[in-house]
A and B are shown apart, each in its own frame.
Chain A
């Protein structure tokens, strides 16, 4: 590929890479994994650019790819975790650890590190739709209208998903509060 041939694609990557990368961090909770998924997103953008039908804006379309790739990554990771659990049952001392440690977002203020890692842990337990709506609204600070376009649902449905996600998180956090004796 020549440099001239790549210029529009390079502009797309440069113009969207930070938002895409941060959105993916909100889902996968690991910086190295987020780097890999970000690369996959732009490979997919390059591959599908010709079939982009311009019914939505380019950034909405790229966001949609980023969300789908993140959810695909989490599905694969959960499958591996299940196999890991079966494997640990067969393992003699059963001491293998397949869960990664709590995620500490590098962009969180020092005094909020512990609480934010608890929030990320609780977010992992949400359903895919609730997680998507919550991450895009709470972490990416997108409007409900933008989220609706990305998720291809109505703004009302987005509002309901965010409310349900918050309610689920309150229950999960309440249990953590009790268990940890905070």
Chain B
């Protein structure tokens, strides 16, 4: 029964809890956070998004051009090899 009494006392220990007050500068701190967020979303992020978009397009374009050139080079080499083979066969 001691145990039950103790548990009840633990439950009752927060009765009459004195209310706590947040910092007197809470409103100013909230405003400062809002302003920081606005600045971040309003100026840095859109600029960053644009730059990121341009970079992505450039990377894709460079890749496409390089692939095209590589294919062209490949087919030219193939042509040269087959011409060379033909000439060997012909000479032989």
Q: Residues of A at under 8 Å CB distance from B?
A: 1, 6, 10, 13-14, 17-18, 21-22, 25, 31, 34-35, 38-40, 42-43, 46-47, 105-109, 112, 115-116, 118-119, 122, 138-139, 166, 169-170, 173-174, 177, 182
Contacts and interface: CB of A to CB of B under 8 A. Distances in A.
B7 to A, nearest CB: 5
A107 B37 contact: no
Contact of B13 (A13, A31, A112, A169): A112
Nearest to B22: A21
A18 B22 contact: yes
Contact of A35 (B3, B13, B18, B23): B23
B6 interface: yes
Interface of B: 3, 6-7, 9-11, 13-14, 16-23, 26-27, 29-31, 33-35, 37
A-B complex: 10 closest residue pairs judged by Cβ atoms? A107-B18, A115-B13, A112-B13, A116-B13, A21-B22, A42-B30, A115-B10, A107-B17, A173-B7, A13-B27
A6 B14 contact: no
A43 B38 CA distance: 11
Given A105-B14, A173-B10, A43 B19 contact: no
Given A6-B31, A13-B26, A109 B16 contact: yes
B28 to A, nearest CB: 10
B3 to A, nearest CB: 5
Contacts of A105: 14, 17
A118 B10 contact: yes
A116 to B, nearest CB: 4
Contacts of B10: 115-116, 118-119, 122, 173
Contacts of B22: 17-18, 21, 34-35, 38
25 contacts: A1-B31, A1-B35, A14-B27, A17-B26, A18-B22, A21-B21, A22-B19, A22-B20, A35-B22, A35-B26, A38-B22, A42-B27, A43-B33, A47-B34, A107-B20, A108-B17, A112-B14, A115-B9, A116-B10, A118-B13, A119-B13, A122-B10, A139-B14, A166-B11, A173-B10
